[in-house]
Structure formats: C-alpha cells, structure tokens
C-alpha cells in the first residue's frame, strides 16, 4: 500500500509561508553568511595577489571594524524596539489579526537582518584581524568586505527609516491586509476547488464514512496531494467537508470517505494542518474579516474614526471587484485531484464576513452608511448575478439598520436616496 508523502509541494509552500513569518530566520541566515565571509577572506592569502594589491594599514581596519561593531549593536537594538512599537501599534490601532502581516514585512526583516549580520561580521572580523589570521591580501579582502557591508548598511538604513515611519500605522496596515486578502482571493478564484472536483450540491451531506478532526482549532491548510495519494491507494473517493479557516472540534467531520473502509483516520487527517489561529494565505475569508474588524474597531465610541471605516469599505469594494473580474486562462488550475471533491466559497459568506459588522456598528453614522450603500450599489452593477443579488440583500439590511439607528430624518432620507435600488420606506 502506498504511503503518503511527508513533504508534498503544496505542504512545502505552506511551510515556507509560515517560516517567512518567523522574525529570527533572516537574521540567522545573515549571521551565518557574515561568519562565512570573514573566513572566505582568508582564502585571498592563498591566491598570490599580495604583490599586486595595495597595502592596507592594520590599525585602520581595526578602527573601522570597531566603529562598525559598536554602532551596529546600537542600531540593531533600536531597530528591534521600533519594530516592537510598530507591532503594538498595529495590534491596538487596527486588529491583532494583522500582526503576522506586519511581522512579515520584508523591508523591516531585511533591515534587522543586515544590522545584526553587520554586527556579527565586524566582531568576527575584528577578532580575526587582532589575532593575525590574515596576511596582506586577506587584510585587503577584509577591508573591501567592510566597505561593502557599510554601503549595504547605509542603503538599508535609509530604506528602513522610510518604512518604519509607516509600519504599524492603520492606513499601512489596511493596505497590507488588503494585499494579503487580494492574493488569497485571486488564487482561489483561479482554483475555486483547489484543483479538485467540486462537491455536488445535491449530494447527501452525511454520505460516506466520516473522519473527524484530531484536535480543536482552525484549519490552516489542506494538502490535497496527500488526500489524492491515499484515495488512489485505497481506490476510494474523498469528500472534503471543511475549507481552510473553518473552526473544527473533535466532533466535527473533516471529510468523508466514499467507497472504502480500509483506511486509517490518521492517514487522511494528517493532510489537514490545524492551528490555534487562522492564516491569510489559504483563507480568503480571513482577510475580509480582518478588514471588517479594522473598520469595526474604528467605529467604536472610544476611537470614533469613521474615516478609517470608509477607507476599509473602499478596500472591500476593490477586493470584490477583483473576485468577479475576468479570469486569466493561463492561471486557471485544472482538476488534478480527481478522487477528491472540495466545496467552493459562497458569495453570501464573503459578504457577511466583509460588511455585516460595519453595517451594524456604522448604522448610526450617516457618512459610513452612505458610503456603504454606494459600495453595495457599485457591486450590484458588476454584472455577476450572485453578487448582484447578495449586494441588494445587504443594501436592504443596511438601510433597515440605519433607519432604526438614526434619529434625524434628513440623514435617513440621504441614506435612502443613495440606496436607490433598496426598498426605501416612506
């Protein structure tokens, strides 16, 4: 009997995305490269270039490395403090769900890595120089590497100062969440069933042998390659019942096995990565929910920032416009897992994640209600029948909420006029 692969291509992609969220990975890589660069300079002494290379004063190299070692430690410490402050700002000003995206910021990670790497390089090189590890050619190589590292540090510092001024700010966080949600939605619309067959809407929900979740948490990733391999080995079919982002417990089925009873639950349940938190990459609904949380938090009486909610509504309109835009035929994922069926996303659920909280808590604010109605009107005119019906339904619900929350008749009339296609009341 065939065994499931330990690391499939899809699982490696997911693991790579999780590794990118770890703040220590890039600094560790740069530290190793810095140490390697120091000892690589030692090889210059064996090339016979000492006669053609200029003579470098030992004291000047030691002085340069000493300055770099002391300054890089200070800058690295300052960078860590600034990044932590940015993370705290993103958590309190936007939503804690955005923290992984803020941590994953490439410019900030690269800056911290360069500062720590430069510190390690200067310390190791200074120690080697003071212990006479290098001859003239090696000393010249260390001098050139030091100048190169300084140039990289200066360029990185200038770029990082510009980024850290915006990192963690609400507007920048909204953009990061929008980009993450847009990437997830774009991947899903080109692969609505993740490369598997679509679950039949007429199929009995309980048909087959249920396989339950081994733990409690959110589904972060489904390795369909493993499910396909197990289904081929058992000559059966697998019907996935839960998509990434679903909260599962040990009493909720992950999938159903149809056509075979010769399977071990652990063999198929291992294809599901379950964690305590949701992730953005494979869960398009999570990005919409995070944007909704940012807007909802801005509408709270303690913050009272309707402008942020209006910005979020604009981001949501852009995302739903992307969702129904024409597909790129070259990026459409064909059905490669013909023994696995997966449910598709429902537009009603996407709208609930995105707009319900904003419509509820912004119902009494006229500018938010008007912008929300304009958003529904724009989405209702996209030409997609399902989106049009859902947008009209949400517009009617939002109008009813506004009529109940507002006390000034002029504001109510303004929202009714903008709603247009909604069932405006006299």
What is the mean pLDDT of each successive set of 10 residues along the chain, which is 426 residues long? 50 71 77 82 68 74 88 85 81 81 80 87 88 81 88 88 80 92 94 89 68 92 88 88 92 86 72 90 93 94 91 97 91 90 94 96 94 94 90 95 93 90 42
What's the pLDDT score for residue 50? Answer: 54
What's the pLDDT score for residue 372? Answer: 96
Do both 225 and 309 map to the same domain?
Answer: no
Question: Contact at 8 Å (CB) between 39 and 131?
Answer: no
What's the pLDDT score for residue 7? Answer: 54
Do both 233 and 308 map to the same domain?
Answer: no
CB atoms within 10 A of CB 324: 16
Of the residues 248, 275, 302, which one is the last residue of a structural domain?
275
C-alpha dist (Å) from residue 307 to 291, 310, 343:
14, 5, 37
What's the pLDDT score for residue 1? Answer: 37
Question: Contact at 8 Å (CB) between 350 and 292?
Answer: no
If DSSP codes are grouped into helix, strand and coil, which group holds residue 120?
A: helix
Do both 138 and 154 map to the same domain?
Answer: yes
Do both 314 and 378 map to the same domain?
Answer: yes
Cα–Cα distance measured from residue 112 to residue 118, given in angstroms and rounded to the nearest whole number: 10
Print the domain residue range for 266.
193-275
What's the pLDDT score for residue 421? Answer: 44
What's the pLDDT score for residue 26? Answer: 78
Of the residues 275, 298, 314, which one is the last residue of a structural domain?
275
- In the structure encoding, which two tokens stand for residue 346, read together? 């429902």
What's the pLDDT score for residue 356? Answer: 95
**Is there a domain that residue 391 lies in?**
yes
Q: Which residue has the tokens 């509820």?
A: 360
Cα–Cα distance measured from residue 299 to residue 283, given in angstroms and rounded to the nearest whole number: 25
Do both 365 and 396 map to the same domain?
Answer: yes
Angle (deg, nearest 10), helices 306-323 and 347-361: 170
């Amino acid at each position: 009997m065939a065994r499931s692969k330990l690391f499939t291509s899809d699982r490696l992609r997911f693991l790579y995305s999780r590794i990118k969220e770890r703040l220590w990975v890039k600094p560790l890589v740069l530290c190793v490269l810095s140490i390697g660069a120091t000892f690589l300079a030692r090889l210059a002494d064996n090339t016979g270039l000492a006669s053609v290379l200029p003579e470098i004063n030992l004291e000047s190299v030691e002085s340069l490395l000493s300055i770099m070692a002391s300054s890089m430690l200070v800058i690295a410490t300052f960078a860590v403090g600034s990044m932590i402050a940015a993370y705290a700002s993103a958590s309190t000003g936007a939503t804690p769900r955005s923290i992984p995206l803020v941590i994953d910021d490439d410019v900030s990670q690269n800056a911290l890595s360069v500062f720590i790497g430069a510190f390690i390089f200067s310390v190791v090189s200074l120690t080697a120089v003071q212990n006479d590890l290098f001859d003239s050619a090696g000393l010249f190589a260390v001098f050139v590497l030091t100048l190169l590292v300084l140039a990289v540090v200066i360029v990185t510092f200038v770029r990082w100062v510009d980024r850290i001024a915006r990192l963690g700010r609400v507007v920048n966080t909204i953009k990061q969440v929008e980009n993450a949600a847009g990437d997830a939605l774009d991947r899903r619309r080109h692969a609505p069933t993740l490369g598997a067959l679509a679950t039949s809407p007429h199929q009995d929900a309980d048909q087959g042998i249920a396989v339950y979740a081994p733990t409690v948490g959110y589904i972060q990733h489904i390795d369909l390659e493993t499910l396909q391999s197990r289904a081929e080995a058992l000559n059966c079919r697998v019907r996935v019942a839960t998509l990434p982002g679903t909260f599962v417990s040990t009493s909720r089925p992950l999938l159903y096995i149809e056509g075979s009873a010769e399977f071990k639950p652990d063999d198929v349940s291992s294809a599901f990565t379950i964690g305590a938190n949701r992730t953005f990459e494979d869960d398009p609904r999570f990005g919409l929910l995070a944007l909704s949380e940012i807007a909802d938090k801005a509408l709270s009486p303690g913050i009272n920032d309707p402008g942020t909610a209006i910005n979020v509504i604009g981001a949501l309109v852009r995302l739903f416009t992307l969702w129904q835009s024409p597909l790129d035929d070259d990026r459409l994922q064909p059905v490669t897992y013909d023994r696995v069926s997966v449910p598709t996303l429902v537009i009603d659920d996407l709208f609930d994640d995105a707009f319900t909280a904003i419509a509820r808590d912004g119902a009494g604010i006229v500018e938010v209600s008007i912008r929300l109605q304009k958003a529904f009107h724009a989405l209702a005119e996209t030409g997609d029948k399902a989106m049009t019906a859902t947008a009209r339904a949400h517009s009617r619900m939002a109008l009813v909420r506004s009529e109940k929350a507002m006390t000034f008749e002029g504001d109510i009339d303004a929202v009714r006029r903008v709603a247009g296609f909604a069932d405006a009341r006299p």
